[in-house]
Amino acid sequence: MSIPEQEPKSTFPCNACQAGVMRLQLLTYFTWLDDEMVMVPNFPAWVCDVCGKREYDERAVNWLTTLLSPNAGKTTLNQKTPRRVQAARRGHSRPPSTE
């Protein structure tokens, strides 16, 4: 791993429309924490000046996630295991043996 340049990138090409340029802006970030809506003002986000695509800064999102979940080791995930219900199949009736 090597950092080629320490040049701070303030813009980069949009990967959605490939014509615009993503610029760093400070927006208000909304997220849900259980049943509560959390609002974070001045949240860094990249906004395309052509198509308007928004991409929140990954580091900032990670920071916020860590901030909002102090019990990081505690995950309450709804375990959704797909269950296969095997339909009972008929048609296995053997023909009665004839003598």
Please state the closest distance from residue 53 (CB atom) to Zn ion, in A. 5
Of the two residues 45 and 48, which places its CB atom closer to Zn ion in the complex?
Answer: 48
Task: Please report whether residue 21 would count as binding Zn ion according to CB under 5 A.
Answer: no
**How many residues at the interface with Zn ion, by CB under 5 A?**
8
Binding mask 37-76 for Zn ion (x = CB under 5 A): -----------x-xx-x-----------------------
Question: Would you list the DSSP string of the chain?
Answer: ------PPP-EEE-TTTSSSEEEEEEEEEEEEETTEEEEEEEEEEEEESSS--EEE-HHHHHHHHHHH-S-TT----------PPPPPP---PPPPPP-
What residues line the site for Zn ion (CB under 5 A)? Answer: 14, 16-17, 20, 48, 50-51, 53
